[in-house]
Amino acid sequence: MMCVLDQDQRVLYANSAFTAFTGISAEDLKGGRACGMFGCSNAGDDPRGCGCGPSCPACALRQALADTIKTGVGHSHVEHRSTWVRNGERREAVLVGSTALIQAEQQTFLLLCLHDITTRKRAEEALRDSEEKFAKVFHGAPVWITVTDLATGMYVDVNETLLRVSGCTREEVIGHTASELGWIPAEARERLVHELRDHGRIVGLEMTFRTKDGRILQGLVDGERHRPSRRAG
């Protein structure tokens, strides 16, 4: 989206992407304040609109526009969350803006470009929520859970149950192998690694574990290989 503004931040021109996004014709956009053309919620508590609402002083996009007009220095990657009501429907969007001064016919104008990143932001937030839920399940599970780098056999992450039962601290475990910690013999660790590499998963493999204080525990190992992504697998 792109629009050209005058020194008072009023719209002189808006391109078709802008009108399609806002649902407002180019003629109706003309003369409106740039940050207020969506019925921005920041200004919703003040009838004077953009720049006059209780949250307006904190609006990063408005600050960027004002600074570019004042100093002539453009801004980029300015994130702005906008909420507005159009035809009775409430819409929310996350926009990234950039500003620059332009010269035309011996006059100075302000160029505002906006990119709609709402879908990407929602995906990032959904991923973050998913990771938070994973962390709760991971650390709250009553069984031992580990994330291991198959290339080295070193632990990348372990849950609280493993730490409690083994008697080790997180600092003692992360970056070390099960054999280095004395939990299982080196040959047993190699067998686990080879099983995962060759078959992709382990189900119900019986093994003996030795805790930090020397207790011997019997357990069943389940494991699955994951390709590297956000977490080591």
> DSSP string covering 201-233, please?
EEEEEEEEEE-TTS-EEEEEEEEE---SSSS--
Q: What is the mean pLDDT of residues 69-98?
A: 85
CA-CA distance, 53 to 35, in Å (whole number)?
12
State the average pLDDT for the chain.
84
Q: What is the mean pLDDT of residues 82-87?
A: 70
CB 1 within 8 A of CB 15: yes
Q: Which CATH superfamily is domain 138-224 in?
A: PAS domain (3.30.450.20)
Is the pLDDT confidence value at 230 over 50? Answer: no
Topology of the domain comprising 2-122: Beta-Lactamase (3.30.450)
CA-CA distance, 133 to 71, in Å (whole number)?
46
Phi, psi (rounded to 5 degrees) for 217? -120, 140
**Residue pLDDT, tens place only, 153-197:** 889 999 999 999 999 999 999 999 998 999 988 888 888 888 888
Amino acid at 4: V
Long-range CB contacts (within 8 A, 24+) of 203-211: 208/184, 209/166, 209/183, 209/184, 210/182, 210/183, 210/184, 211/165, 211/166, 211/167, 211/183
The pLDDT score that the predictor gives to residue 37 is 56
DSSP H helical ranges for the chain: 16-22, 26-29, 60-71, 118-140, 160-166, 170-173, 186-199
The pLDDT score that the predictor gives to residue 228 is 57
Amino acid at 126: A
Residues of the chain with CATH 3.30.450.20: 2-122, 138-224
User: pTM for this structure?
Assistant: 0.59
Cα distance between the two ends of the chain: 41
Q: What is the mean pLDDT of residues 97-119?
A: 91
CA-CA distance, 201 to 180, in Å (whole number)?
23
Q: Pick left, alpha or beta for residue 9 (phi over 0 → left; psi -120 to 50 → alpha; otherwise beta).
A: left
